[in-house]
Chain A
Amino acid sequence: MMYKAFFNRALARALAGAGLLALAAGASAADDLVVENAWLRAVPPVSPTMAGYFELRNKGDRSVKLEGAEAEFAGMAMLHGTETTGDGQRRMVHLGTIRLDPGDRVSFKPGGKHLMLMKLSDVPRAGETVAVCLTFTNHDDVCADFQVRHNSP
Chain B
Amino acid sequence: MPFYRVLAGRLGLLTLFLALAACAEPRQELPVNTRLGGDFTLTDHRGEAFRLADQEGRVVLMFFGYTHCPDICPATLARVSQVYRNLREAGDAGRVQPLFITFDPARDTPAHLAEYLPWFKADVIGLTGSEADIRAVAEQYGVVFLKSDPQDGGYDFTHSDYVYLLDQQGRVRKLYPSDFNIDEVTDDVQSLL
Footprint of B on A, CB under 8 Å? 41, 43-51, 76, 80, 82, 85, 87-92, 94, 110-111, 114, 116-118, 150-151
Q: Which residue of B lies closest to A52 (CB)?
A: B70
Given contacts A44-B120, A46-B115, A150-B78, contact A76 B152 (CB under 8 A): yes
Q: In whole angstroms, how far apart are the Cα atoms of A80 and B144 in the complex?
A: 21
Asked if A44 and B115 sit within 8 Å, CB to CB, the answer is yes
Asked if A90 and B158 sit within 8 Å, CB to CB, the answer is yes
Q: 23 A-B residue contacts at CB 8 Å?
A: A41-B70, A41-B75, A44-B120, A46-B112, A47-B67, A47-B116, A48-B67, A48-B68, A48-B107, A49-B70, A80-B71, A85-B158, A87-B160, A89-B146, A89-B159, A90-B158, A90-B159, A90-B178, A91-B158, A92-B158, A94-B151, A116-B70, A151-B78
Asked if A110 and B116 sit within 8 Å, CB to CB, the answer is no
Asked if B70 and A90 sit within 8 Å, CB to CB, the answer is no
Q: In which size bucket is the chain B interface?
A: 20 to 34
Q: CB < 8 Å: which of A41, A49, A80, A151 contacts B68?
A: A49
Asked if A51 and B115 sit within 8 Å, CB to CB, the answer is no
Q: Which residue of A lies closest to B74 (CB)?
A: A43
Footprint of A on B, CB under 8 Å? 67-72, 74-75, 78, 107, 112, 115-120, 144, 146, 148, 151-152, 154, 156, 158-162, 178-179
Q: In whole angstroms, how far apart are the Cα atoms of A94 and B155 in the complex?
A: 11
Q: CB < 8 Å: which of A47, A80, A94, A110 contacts B75?
A: A110
Asked if A117 and B70 sit within 8 Å, CB to CB, the answer is yes
Q: In whole angstroms, how far apart are the Cα atoms of A128 and B118 in the complex?
A: 20
Q: In whole angstroms, how far apart are the Cα atoms of A41 and B73 in the complex?
A: 11
Query: How far, in Å, is B144 (CB) from chain A's closest CB?
Result: 6
Given contacts A89-B144, A89-B160, A90-B160, contact A50 B116 (CB under 8 A): no
